Amino acid sequence: MSKSVLEYLVEMVQIDSESLDERAMADYLIKELQQLGGEVREDKANEKTGGNAGNVIAWFDGKEGIEPLMLNAHMDTVTPGNGVVPDIRGGIMYSAGGTVLGADDKSGIAMILAVIAQRKKEGNLQVPLEVVFTISEEIGLLGAKELDCSLLRSKRGYSLDGNKMGELVKASPSQINYKVTFQGKSVHAGVEPEKGLNAIVIAADYLRKLPDGRIDEVTTMNIGKIKGGKATNIVCDEVMIEGEIRSHKENKLQSLLELVQKEAESVKEKWKTGVKFEWHTSFKGLQFEETEDLIEISHEAFSSLGINQGLVINGGGSDANALAEHGIRLAVVGTGMQKIHTIEEFIDLEDLETGYQWLDNILSIWEERCGS
C-alpha cells in the first residue's frame, strides 16, 4: 500500500540528517525509491564534502517521447536537527522539542515520494522522472556542487525547496564569499603593549569602512564570522573575518567586491602589516521569464487548484543555482514550510497536501506539453 504525503513526512522528520551526517536519511531514501521501482544510485560527492553519504539519484521510466522531468529536494537539515519528535496540533505539524522540524526540506521529499507512490499504484507514471536528493545543501549547496552530473539524463524540472505555498522563485541572486586575515604582533599585554600590534584593532578599523545589511532592494552584505585572539593578556596577532555579498545585479556585486578588497589594501598600507584577502563565487544568480515553460506549467498546475501563482524575487540560493552551472534548469517552488532554521519551524498540513496535488498536476500537464 502506498504511503500518504503525511506518512512520509512523519517518518522522515524523525530520521537524523544534519548536514554532513545524512547516512540514515540516504539509506531510507534508497530503500523507498527501490521499493517504488526506481533505478537508484548514490554518487560519491561526500568524498569531497566530508560527509558520510552521497547524493541519491533515482530514475523512473515513462512513456517514450516525453521529455524527462527532474524533481529535486535536499535531505539535510540545519542544527539542532537530531531527535526530532513531530507534534501535530490543529492541522499543523511542529517539533515537540527544542529542535527544528526538518520540513526544510523533507516536506519537498515527501511530496515527491508520495506522488510517485500513488502514480505507480495506479499504473499511471507516464512522465520519465529523475529524482535528485542532495546532501549538505544547508552549508553551501555542497551536494549539488559536487553532484556527479554524468549520471543525469534530464535537463529541466522543479526544486521543491521554497517557503510559501503557491510561490515560485523567478529570480535569485549571485553570491560572493570573502575572507580577510589581518596580521598583528603578539606581546604581553600587561608588560610591553606598546611593542605589539593588535590585529583586532586593525580588523575593527577595516570593518568601520564597510557597508552592511541591505544595500539596495536586491543587494545585501554581511560579516558572518570573526575569529582571533588567545587570551586577554596577549596582544592579538591574527584575526580572520568572513563575509558575503549577494546581489541580483552583477555590476553591483563586482563593485562591492572591489570595495572590500580595496579597503583591505588600504588597511594594509595604513598599519604597515600583513593582510590576506581571499574570495570565491559561491553561486551564480538564476532568472526566469514569466513566459518560460517551467513557469507556465506551474501556473497551470496551481490554477487548477484555485491558487494564483505568485512569482517572487528571492534573497537566497538553492540547489537550483548550483545545478544551473551544469546546464540544468530548475524552478524553485514553495512547499509551505514556515519559520525555517528555527525551533519554531512548522508546516500546515493543508499546504502539504496542496503541494502533493500541485506536483500530481505537474506530471499531467508535463505529459501533455512536453511529449513529442
User: Where in the sequence numbering do the catalytic residues fall?
Assistant: 76, 137
Cell of 213: 545589511
Per-residue cell: 325:
552551472
Do residues 163 and 314 lie in contact, with contact meaning Cβ atoms separated by under 8 Å? Answer: no
What whole-number distance in Å separates Cα of residue 188 and Cα of residue 191?
5
Place of cell 513531530: 86
Cα separation, 177 vs 60, in Å, equals 38
Looking up cell 513566459 gives: 291
Q: Is 353:111 a contact under the CB 8 Å cutoff?
A: no
* String of DSSP letters for 118-166: HHHHHT---S-EEEEEES-GGGTSHHHHT--GGG----EEEEEEESSTT
199-207 and 250-271 are packed helices; what angle lies between their axes, rounded to 10 degrees? Answer: 140
Q: Is the peptide bond preceding residue 348 cis, with omega within 30 degrees of 0? A: no
Residue 227: how many other CB atoms lie within 10 Å: 10
Positive/negative CA dihedral, 144, 164, 109, 339: positive
174-183 and 275-283: which strand pairing?
antiparallel
Alpha carbon distance 10, 95 (integer Å): 11
CA distance 357 to 76: 24
CB 14, CB 84: distance < 8 Å = yes
